[in-house]
Amino acid sequence: MDNKVKIYIAILVLIFGITLLVDKGQPKPIDWTPTYSVDDKIPFGLYIFDHEADGLFKQKVERISTQTPYEYLDSQYDARENVETYKIKGTFVNISEVNNIDEQSMKEILYFVSHGNNAFLSMKVFPKVLLDSLKIELKTDFMPVDSVSVWMANKKVNSKKYTLNTGLSDYFSKIDTLNTKVLGYQNSTKNKRQINFIEVPYKNGYLYLHTQPVAFTNYNLLKKNYYQYTENLVSYIPKGNIFWYNKSFNDQRISSSPLRYIWSQPALKSAWYLGIIGIIIFMIFNAKRKQRIVPIIKPLQNLTVEFTKTVGNLYYQEGDHTNIIDKKIIYFLEKIRTDYLLDTTKLDDDFITKLHYKTGKDEKDIRDLVQLINDHRNSYHGSLEEDLLRINKAIEKILH
């Protein structure tokens, strides 16, 4: 192994070691992410509420986590003639930071309520189809607040006020006062009372809407006697079975790592790990052996053309034009025999016609060349240098 590679590896090990030592001495930061997941023990998880749900509701709780509300409730509907109702009776429950119910599921929940059932929804953002159906409006108090005071409207239930740690304060700004019953209030700024818990009748059932789901989180359930406020909320749920939809919108935790987007995409995550493994393999093999540079060997040059030109120039300088003409004729006839498979024994009219058809060259040019070749063979010579030029020019017309 090269000494440089050893130094690089030692530096990397040292950096990793220092990083681990520094991180080990640091206290683990508190994760304040509002996941509302039953598996999370962080402040804004629902781990404690999930374990205490049976005692708080004081009735059977069925948890729905693998299906959407539409899929679950639709599977419980008996569509037989003269039946057309749900096989189950009770209250549908959902607790979430934001809207985690799709439009089709919300319509199914309303249909479930219309058949004499109930729904308890504690959310900061409600589905639009629900707000439109009940003719209510939700408003957000954009004044920055760290906490909000909450209390029950009925003093006989509980007259205490509780301070919940939350962010922006949401409340019902418009309700149908003739049909809607106010169950709870909150106070976030300037001592202004705001509605945060209501009971709304819907056909044969009731909907209980609450805007402070933070009351159900680990942080507030462990804070003094704040669990009493949560008990007051669920005490309004009518007797019957509980169908708790606990698949939170934020179940998948958001990583704070700069690589969170890469890790959130399966293809990019696989590519990332593949790249890391490739780099490690490259370092191992590169450290083990480094191949020397292979010298470039140039191929031998083809000197046939240069040799031919040299021999031709030698004949031409010696003035041996007859020999050059003979070789040009021999080369031409050999080319004709090889490429066109013609007999060159007799250069007569039949040969001229066949060569014309096979080459597509002008018949007059072929006839002139044959005439020059026959004249040369019959020892009729004019100026040999001029004959060489004429024959060479005539041959080029046929072969090019």
The answer, yes or no, to whether residue 310 has pLDDT greater than 90, is no
Per-residue pLDDT, averaged over 141-158, amounts to 84
What residue ranges do the domains of the chain occupy? 3-28+257-288, 47-245, 304-399
Compute the half-sphere exposure of residue 211: CA atoms within 13 Å on the CB side of its CA.
Answer: 30
As a whole number of angstroms, the distance between CA 198 and CA 135 comes to 13
Q: Confidence class of residue 389 from pLDDT cuts 50, 70 and 90? A: confident
Q: Taking the CB of residue 342, how many other CB atoms lie within 10 A of it?
A: 16
Per-residue pLDDT, averaged over 50-79, amounts to 91
pLDDT digits (tens, 9 = 90+) for 246-266: 885 544 444 556 676 776 677
pLDDT for the residue numbered 256: 54
* Percent of the residues in the chain that have a pLDDT greater than 90, as a whole number: 36
Compute the half-sphere exposure of residue 168: CA atoms within 13 Å on the CB side of its CA.
Answer: 12
The answer, yes or no, to whether residue 373 has pLDDT greater than 60, is yes
* Position 370, amino acid: V
Q: How far is CA 238 from CA 57, 119, 160, 233, in A?
A: 10, 10, 23, 11
Give Cβ neighbours of residue 349 (< 8 Å, ≥ 6 apart): none
Q: How far is CA 197 from CA 184, 239, 241, 248, 308, in A?
A: 5, 19, 21, 21, 106
71 against 395, higher pLDDT: 71
The answer, yes or no, to whether residue 281 has pLDDT greater than 80, is no
- Evaluate if pTM is beyond 0.95: no
The answer, yes or no, to whether residue 108 has pLDDT greater than 70, is yes
Residue corresponding to tokens 């009925």 = 154
pLDDT for the residue numbered 26: 64
The answer, yes or no, to whether residue 126 has pLDDT greater than 90, is yes
Per-residue pLDDT, averaged over 92-117, amounts to 94
The encoded tokens of residue 366 equal 């072929």
The answer, yes or no, to whether residue 71 has pLDDT greater than 70, is yes
Q: Taking the CB of residue 94, how many other CB atoms lie within 10 A of it?
A: 24
pLDDT for the residue numbered 355: 86
Relative to beta strand 181-187, strand 147-152 is: antiparallel
Nearest to 116 by CA among 147, 89, 95: 89
Using DSSP's 3-state secondary structure scheme, residue 350 falls into helix
Return the CATH fold of 47-245.
Answer: Rossmann fold (3.40.50)
314 against 119, higher pLDDT: 119
Q: Taking the CB of residue 48, how many other CB atoms lie within 10 A of it?
A: 18
pLDDT digits (tens, 9 = 90+) for 349-366: 888 888 888 888 888 888
* Position 279, amino acid: I
pLDDT for the residue numbered 77: 94
Winning range, highest mean pLDDT, from 92-101, 273-282, 382-391: 92-101
pLDDT for the residue numbered 252: 47
pLDDT for the residue numbered 109: 97
pLDDT mean across residues, the chain: 83
pLDDT for the residue numbered 371: 87
Per-residue pLDDT, averaged over 49-71, amounts to 90
pLDDT for the residue numbered 253: 47
pLDDT digits (tens, 9 = 90+) for 182-236: 999 998 766 688 999 999 999 999 999 999 999 999 999 998 889 999 999 999 9
Q: Which of 33-42, 72-81, 105-114, 289-298 has the lowest average pLDDT?
A: 289-298
Q: Confidence class of residue 112 from pLDDT cuts 50, 70 and 90? A: very high
pLDDT for the residue numbered 251: 46
